[in-house]
Each structure stands twice: as structure tokens, then as C-alpha cells.
Amino acid sequence: MEQKKKVLFVATVVKTHINTFHLPFLKMFKEYGWEVHVAAKNDFVDEPCVIPNCDRHFDIDFARSPFSKSNIKAYKQLKQIIETNHYDIIHCHTPVAGVLTRLAARTAKGTTVIYTAHGFHFYQGAPLINWLVYYPVERVCGKFTDKLITVNQEDYHRANSWRLRNNGKIYYVPGIGVDLEEIQNISINKVQKKKEIGISNDVKVLLSVGELN
């Protein structure tokens, strides 16, 4: 019997990252017959940690701060997991988890390492400390990355000057994949919409879209 291919998804936390953003991808790999693993900190409180379509979950001691000593333990945990399971693909997310995973997987043979940058912390106008800390780290980690996915044009153009492993490729996905043209073409009758949701026509409405973090 042919051995199943294995994929490892890595992010800082389960509930507010893996289960919020990546469940469709876990499901896709399962449908294609892959064995799906997740490495992320269990951030469920007073409820069981459940990850749909996940064959195995590794609870990793990630800390959001790159200066936390617990990340040393997280690196060792990842190194052991990667060396033991021999993954075909490792797809990592979030800055700290992304860096630790790529360092831990740098000697893994036959493994394609993918990193999705959900917006680099260094950008035009960012604090100097962000450039001093995160920029050189991402440049170095590019050498251990086979595929880099960026979600905005600034990150895409900046990363294009970097050298990835095995002549790796850099991809641009607009935001989180929302079709902006489809949204922009939506026509709304403001008076009718206000009436529908119980707002007086003379009241000004402000819509803010985003994650409060």
C-alpha cells in the first residue's frame, strides 16, 4: 500500500488562527487522501481543543513575543516533530511560528516549506525597531523557504529581491482572497437599507471592517 503523503500546518494558536482561517485547506488535503497534522498552541479555554480534519495535533509552547524564552522550547518541539514525521509539505503562518518552523525544517530533506506572510511587520512608515528586528530575520529565513506567499503589493515587491531556497517562488494573493471588484460593483439603496436594519434615515452610519486584536 502506498504511504500517505503528510502535510503540517503551523501557526501560533489553534482557535483564533488555525480554526479561524485554515479549516478549508485542512479539509482539502484530507479529501485528497493526505495525512494532516497541525502544530499550534492550544488556546481553547474551558472547552476541548477540536480541529476538524486534523489527524494529529501537537500543542506547541509558542509565545507571540519573539524575545520569550518559551520559543526556545517551541523550536525544540518543532525540530523533533519534523524529524520524526518526514512531511512532504510544511505550511507555516504568523511571524514567530513562521520563523521557528523554517529554522527547524532547514535540514529536512524532501520537504517543501511554504510560508504565508500575513503582512510583514516592516513596511513603509513602520517603527525602526520593526525593521531592525524583523527584516533581517525574514531575509535569512528566506533561505529556508521554498514558497513565499504575500498578501499585499508592498510585501510582494520587497520580497522579490530576496533569494529563496531552491530558486523558490514568491506569490501574491490579494488580501485574503476577497474579490474587490465584485464588492465595488454592489449597489445599495441607502434609505431602504437603513429602514431594513432599523436606523433612522437622518443618522450617519460608519462601517469599520477588520479584526479587533
Q: What is the pLDDT of residue 212?
A: 66
Strands (DSSP E) found in the chain: 6-13, 35-41, 56-58, 89-93, 112-117, 147-150, 169-172
C-alpha cell at 41: 498552541
Region 2-30: mean pLDDT is 93
Residue count of the chain, please give it. 213
pTM over cut 0.95: no
Q: What is the largest CA-CA distance in the chain?
A: 69
Q: What is the mean pLDDT of the chain?
A: 90
| 189: number of Cβ within 10 Å | 9
**CA-based radius of gyration for the chain:** 20
Contact between 86 and 6 under an 8 Å Cβ cutoff? The reply is yes
- Give yes or no for a contact between 175 and 152, defined as CB atoms under 8 angstroms apart: yes
Domains of the chain: 6-182 (3.40.50.2000)
Band of residue 213 on the pLDDT scale cut at 50, 70, 90: low
Q: What pLDDT is stored for residue 211 in this prediction? A: 66
Contacts 24+ apart (CB under 8 A), 130-138: 133/66, 134/95, 137/66, 137/99, 138/99, 138/162
pLDDT 10s digits, 42-85: 998 888 889 999 999 999 998 877 778 888 999 999 999 999 99
In the predicted model, what is the mean pLDDT of residues 109-134?
Answer: 91
Interval 144-196: pLDDT, tens: 999 999 999 999 999 998 889 988 999 998 876 677 788 888 888 999 999 99
- Determine the pLDDT at residue 31: 96
Supply the pLDDT for residue 1.
Answer: 59
Share of the chain above pLDDT 70, in %: 97
Judged by DSSP in three states, 40 sits in strand
Rounded Cα distance, 150 and 166, in Å: 18
- On whether the CB atoms of residues 92 and 10 are closer than 8 A, the answer is yes
Which of 100 and 65 is assigned the larger pLDDT?
A: 100
What φ, ψ does residue 58 adopt, rounded to 5°?
-110, 120
